[in-house]
Structure 1
Amino acid sequence: MSASQSREHGRVGPEHARMTAELRIFDTGAPTHQLSQKVVQAGPGYRLFIAVPKGPAPDAGWPVVYMLDGNAVFDFLTVEDLAMAKGLVVVGVGYDTPRQFARELRTQDFTAPDGPGDGLRPDHVHEGRVAGGAAIFHDRLTGPLRAAAEDGLNIDPARRTLWGHSFGGLFTLYALLARPLAFARHAAISPSIWWDEPLMRRVAAKAARADLPLLMALGDREKRSGSDGPPPDGPAPATMQFIADLALHPGHRAQVHVLPGHVHIQTLAGSFPLIFPFALNEI
């Protein structure tokens, strides 16, 4: 089953985490954007997927959205999606792997530290994985990865947006709350708050006033990975409670969208019609 078929039929469960990224958009091309890829030898090795609008950049430079899990993002991305991103540079930050997702690496990169030092520790949810590397990855993202992505491009530094889905959404919230100066806008899609609710509450409690736009989206049929039973009928309570708690902190109020009928993997591409106008400051 192709990535486009997976998106259409909502393939779920552990299967999608092992799927190969076909990246067909690089074969078809896009009328609105010039597409390219590059590998950056930082940490475990990352692959950048870059879509640059055709034509001259505006005087102030292009706005840019950085999208985590770039292998999956550009596997699901269509020509029609990019048509919504006219005038916007889209950068997928992925791993140097043929798969849509690098599960072990993203767990380490996207989960927040809990204590002094580099924060690395055993993952309390997934046996054998390492967690807590969000501060390390944030330095890579805003250092060598950003430099490689923006090399040769006229980018407006005041119009950078960060997008993340699932664990990537968790990282996006960490970036907003712990390091708010790196991006002007943040979009957290189906963030995995359940992974460590107390930790995220502690991160939020320490957050300084930011007054930065935050978009959050989640489906009403999402289950936690590996949980039994039918899909729930409503958005994840842990995420909705986090949104409510966050609103109590000065300057942290989210724009929230519940995507009807969406299970977890479907919210990734289901957020595209939201994130591109959001990054362009149209919503």
Structure 2
Amino acid sequence: MTRQGKVGPDHAAEEAALRLFQTGAVTHELSQKVVAEGPGHRLFVATPKGPAPARGWPVLYMLDGNAAFDFLTPGDLAMAPGLAIVGIGYDTDRQFARERRTLDFTAPDGLGDGLRPDHVHPGRMAGGAAIFHDRLVGPLRAAAEAGLSVDPARRTLWGHSFGGLFTLYALLARPGGFARYAAISPSIWWDEALINRIARDARPASVPLLMALGDREKRSGSDGPPPDGPAPATMQFIETLRRHPGHRAQVHVLPGHAHIQTLAGSFPLVLPFAGA
């Protein structure tokens, strides 16, 4: 696997080698813990070495933590020596828990508890984002920050793909959980009408948002060559945000990046963003 990851659709079945925990890092102490909450989660924590500042460390929460920490390198951590990083993963040896992330990272439809069959992936359930958000800012955050000096005013949420979709949902529908948000290659296509409606209905806010996507992205398993340009649905969503008072995303198009490659490709952008 290259630094940016496999391009083909089999990347979702990759084992998480987590070499970072074998090599270690000059700038951070590394630890893992399992939390028996919901489906069971693994937390991956990189804590800056040395004494914490008086206000505590800024902290970056990364969804799909198994994959995020599989792609993180000591060089990445060296770009942000004063930033704590927490990977929120699932209790699996794979990079991605596909069924769980589909359920946890997709928005409810506003009917009943919002849960429903996934209209894209037969056999999966969807719509559990509100439930997962409560778990994330409640017991998972408490477990991650136990013994860690954190500045509550500098918590950032990062997500890629379905995780990026959840990040936008969290910003727009459940504001206040984090101070900054970074949505990378968000899966706007999954229910374009729903996420645009959530954006239109959101209260005005002035919360920093970083968005990044590649110009060679296509859905895993889809036919044809990669497109030449960023996803139109995502660019249209960005325009929807721009028409909404207070929401002004900083947007980066990553040249030559396919979908999986934007995960690690976002690190040079998001690490300084979260550490500021």
Task: Give distance in 2, aligned partners of 1:226 and 1:279.
Answer: 33
Query: Which residue of 251, 265, 268 corresponds with 1:256?
Result: 251
Whole-Å separation in 2 of the counterparts to 1:211 and 1:154: 26
Distance in 2 (CA, whole Å) between partners of 1:53 and 1:214 is: 24
Equivalent in the alignment of 2:159: 164
Q: Which residue of 2 aligns with 1:197?
A: 192
Q: Does residue 22 of structure 1 match 2:17?
A: yes
Superposed, 1:133-144 pairs within 5 Å as 133-144=128-139
Q: What are the Cα deviations for residues 228-265 of structure 1, in whole angstroms up to 9, with x where unaligned?
A: 10000000000000001111000111000000000000
Which residues in structure 2 correspond to 1:43-122 (within 5 Å)?
Answer: 43-122=38-117
RMSD: 0.8
User: The residue matched to 2:213 in structure 1 has which SS?
Assistant: strand
Q: Which amino acid aligns with 1:216?
A: M
The answer to whether residue 3 in structure 2 is matched with residue 7 in structure 1 is yes
* Cα deviation, residue 115, structure 1: 1.1
Identical amino acids, percent of aligned pairs: 78
Aligned to 2:201: 206
Q: In the alignment, residue 83 of structure 2 is paired with which amino acid? A: L
Amino acid across the alignment from 1:243: I
Runs of 4+ with >2 A deviation:
5-8
Distance in 2 between the 1:15 and 1:209 partners? Answer: 40
Supply the distance in 1 between the matched residues of 2:260 and 2:61 (Cα, whole angstroms).
19
Give the superposition deviation at 1:279.
0.4
Contact persistence 2:200–2:240 (CA under 8 A) = no
| Consecutive unaligned residues in structure 2, runs of 5 or more | none
TM-superposed deviation, 1:45: 0.3
Q: How does 1:130-279 map to 2 (within 5 A)?
A: 130-279=125-274
Q: Name the CA distance, whole Å, in 2 between partners of 1:41 and 1:6.
A: 33
Query: How many angstroms apart in 2 are the aligned matches of 1:258 and 1:190?
Result: 10
What TM-score, normalized to structure 1?
Answer: 0.96
Moved more, 113-122 or 240-249: 113-122
- The CA deviation at 1:7 is 3.1
Deviation at 1:72, TM superposition (A): 0.4
Mapped contact 1:118–1:136 kept (Cα < 8 A) = no
Name the structure, 1 or 2, with higher relative contact order (CA <8 Å, separation 6+): 2
Instruction: Report if the CA contact (8 A) 2:64-2:95 is conserved.
Output: yes
Superimposed CA distance per residue, residues 22-48 of structure 1 (whole angstroms, 9 cap, x where no aligned partner): 001101100100000001111100000
Q: Say whether the 8 Å CA contact 1:118–1:135 is kept in structure 2.
A: no
The answer (yes or no) to whether the contact 2:115–2:128 under 8 Å persists in 1 is: yes
Q: 1:278 is matched by which residue type in structure 2?
A: F
> Contact (CA 8 Å) 1:110, 1:171: kept in 2 or not?
yes
The offset of 1:13, in angstroms, is: 2.7
In 2, are the aligned partners of 1:65 and 1:89 still within 8 Å (CA)?
yes
- Residue 280 of structure 1 corresponds to which residue in structure 2? 275
- Whole-angstrom CA distance in 2 between matches of 1:102 and 1:12: 18
CA distance in 2, matches of 1:48, 1:210: 30
Task: Find the residue that maps to 1:7 and give its secondary structure.
Answer: coil
Distance in 1, matches of 2:109 and 2:97, equals 23
